[in-house]
Amino acid sequence: MNTPTTVTASSLRVPDGELYHELRGSGPLLVLVGAPMDAEPFAPAADLMATTHTVLTTDPRGINRSRLDDPRGDATAELRADDLARLVEHVDRGPAVVLGSSGGAVSVLALAQTRPDLVRLAIAHEPPLNELLDDREELCAKTRDIIDTHAAGDALAAGRKFLALANLHLPEEMVVEMYGDGRTPRQVADADFMNDHMLWQTTAWLPDVEALRALGSKVLVGLGEDSAGEHCDRTSRALADLLGTTPTMFPGGHVGFLERPEAFCARLREVL
């Protein structure tokens, strides 16, 4: 019988808000982070990795339990990277292995290029970097349309457009559950913040390729084995090409750590 993992939850005060975070386990520091995804979907992987690591998970600024003093502030990649730096320094068990997924991968890249002293290894798993692709103008226009559609009050239509852009295919009942009228007030608030203050600030971000390339093997581009043909497959491969590397493959798709946590963590241990 497995012993339940002890989770210590707390909030760290930063200049413009509070960052909710959770700690599990002991040993070298491992950070698992998303954007706009909060800490909860990382729990299965965090529990598995906590047998050998101190695992830090967090809600990104403006999402769920990480409250901003001014909720109208944008959650830029640079601000999210600064948040991660403050959390790593607060835990004081770094430098850290930092694995970011989707928008969290953009946060991790920003952290690696600004505070490499805090990073032992940065794994950017499927960063949605539109500006690296040849059809960036079309992608930017579609992203703006998603934001405008959501701002006009049609969250379901905006969600459908988002999934189409990402080339993600979900069952209809799941789409309605994620974007329809049955969402909780917190889900609605998080979706509003993501569309108003995080989506554009993430997808239009340009990494400092020279700074990241200078870090060599400290930066890996992660890619799901089941993500072929999806938008983040394209962006991940484009980033890896610019860095002169090849993607590091992980089990599952865009959220393989949630779909197949045991296999994902086994692969993560191999990488480490």
Sign of CA dihedral 180, 59, 122, 259: negative
Predicted confidence at residue 55, as pLDDT, reads 98
Structural tokens at position 183: 């969402």
Domain 7-135+204-271 matching CATH 2.30.42.10: the answer reads: no
Decide: 17 and 59 in contact? Cβ < 8 Å.
no
Decide: 127 and 231 in contact? Cβ < 8 Å.
no
The stretches in the chain having pLDDT less than 70 are 1-3
Predicted confidence at residue 124, as pLDDT, reads 98
The conformation of residue 125, written as its DSSP 8-state character, comes to: E
Give all strands of the β-sheet with 96-101 in edge-to-edge order.
Answer: 7-14, 17-24, 54-58, 29-33, 96-101, 119-125, 219-224, 248-250
Decide: 37 and 45 in contact? Cβ < 8 Å.
no
Decide: 223 and 99 in contact? Cβ < 8 Å.
no
| Single pTM value for the model | 0.95
Decide: 93 and 69 in contact? Cβ < 8 Å.
no
Categorise residue 183: left if φ over 0, alpha if ψ from -120 to 50, beta otherwise: beta
Decide: 23 and 72 in contact? Cβ < 8 Å.
no
Boundaries of every domain in the chain: 7-135+204-271, 136-197
Decide: 218 and 112 in contact? Cβ < 8 Å.
yes
Predicted confidence at residue 94, as pLDDT, reads 79
**C-alpha to C-alpha distance for 184 and 186, rounded to whole angstroms:** 5
* Per-position DSSP letters for 7-67, written without gaps between them: EEEEEEEETTEEEEEEEES-SSEEEEE-SS--SGGGHHHHHHHTTTSEEEEEPPTTSTT--
Q: Which residues contact 166 (CB under 8 A, 6 or more apart)?
A: 128, 230, 231, 232, 254
Decide: 39 and 20 in contact? Cβ < 8 Å.
yes
The candidate with the shortest Cα–Cα distance to 70, out of 4, 31, 116, 14, is 14
Decide: 224 and 251 in contact? Cβ < 8 Å.
yes
Beta strands in the chain (DSSP E): 7-14, 17-24, 29-33, 54-58, 96-101, 119-125, 219-224, 248-250
**C-alpha to C-alpha distance for 11 and 7, rounded to whole angstroms:** 13
